[in-house]
Amino acid sequence: MFGSGLPNFRTDSAAAAADNGGMELYQLKTFVAVAQERSLTRAAERVFTSPPAVSAQIKALEDELGVRLFDRTPRGMALTEAGARLLDEAERTLASASRMRSAAAQLRGAAQGVVRFGTVSDPIALRLGDALLRLAERHPQVTLQLHQGLSAATLVALQRGELDCAYVMTDLESVDGLEIQRLGIVDLAVAMPLSVAEADAQPSLAELVNRPWVGTPPGCVLRRHLDALFASAGREYQEAALADTEGAVRSMVASGLGVGIVRQDQALQAERHGELKVWNGWRGHTWICWASPPAARSSSAVAAVRQAVEEAWAV
């Protein structure tokens, strides 16, 4: 996701090692993130990718340079002596690349400004890292302020002018005062706590709706699917445990607080890890969408973000 078409910036000390390979800026960014965070997981969150991808990037960079950069310790990732020396070089290289991008942006009249960008809880599923990388390469003077929250609340914030654009998860094809563009489909599933599955691996819907459930606030796309599921069983959902983000539903189900509707890929991953069980009696779907007020079209910075997002989803 991060490896195509980036320029090859190298310091003199690293040039000899890189002459036969393709050292890239994203590898140096990942190296610096791991060095500063001392954790593959935290570094992955910082560069908007997964821990296995971060590990693979560090391994590729070590192979390229011919030195070991980190030792794994009980306290996290520790720089080796070689890694500590090369960290300064990496930081200088990234700073030089940033200055060069800024100079080029000024020459070509690139977009500039701050964009208040709403997101839901999973940057990988949103292809957020890919979009941000494209944006940084072309428009380094555009600064994003990321605001994470439930899609229903994000749509309201857009209508109030508190955000400029957003990723949202919704079934709606139109929202008053907003432009909605569907980017990709999201499959949904019902996830059960292990305690529920131990009593009955695949209960009937009539049995399942008698169990405690984890819901989200009214207006949320997951809540609409939950209400419809209960209605199909001739019941009305009674609000109990409440999650404030889509990702929190999965965590609360895994903690045993109740049954819940979650993204199918997250549910299946959690099931593989022995955290919960997927109920096979229902599947639903919704969409990841781009949303923005029509007035945002006049902003070159928002237009630049939208182009980066659309290209990330076109791949």
**Three-state helix/strand/coil letters over 66-107:** CCCCEEEECCEEEECHHHHHHHHHHHHHHHHHHHHHHHHHHH
Intervals of CATH 1.10.10.10 along the chain: 12-108
Over residues 140-156, the mean pLDDT reads 88
Q: List, in order, residues 6 or more apart from 278 with CB less than 8 Å away.
A: 189, 190, 191, 192, 264, 267, 268, 271
Between these two residues, 98 and 309, which has the higher pLDDT value? 309
pLDDT at 258 over 50: yes
Q: Which fold has domain 12-108?
A: Arc Repressor Mutant, subunit A (1.10.10)
Tell me where in the chain the CATH 3.40.190.290 domain(s) lie: 113-315
CATH 3.40.50.360 holds for 113-315: no
Q: Convert 85-111 to b/e letters by CB count within 10 Å (16 or more is b).
A: ebbeebeebbeebeeebeeebeeeebb
Question: Tell me, what's the pLDDT at 111?
Answer: 66
pLDDT tier, 23 (very low <50, low <70, confident <90, very high otherwise): confident
Is the predicted pLDDT of residue 192 greater than 90, yes or no? Answer: yes
Question: 14-18, 55-59, 236-240, 291-295: which has the minimum mean pLDDT?
Answer: 14-18
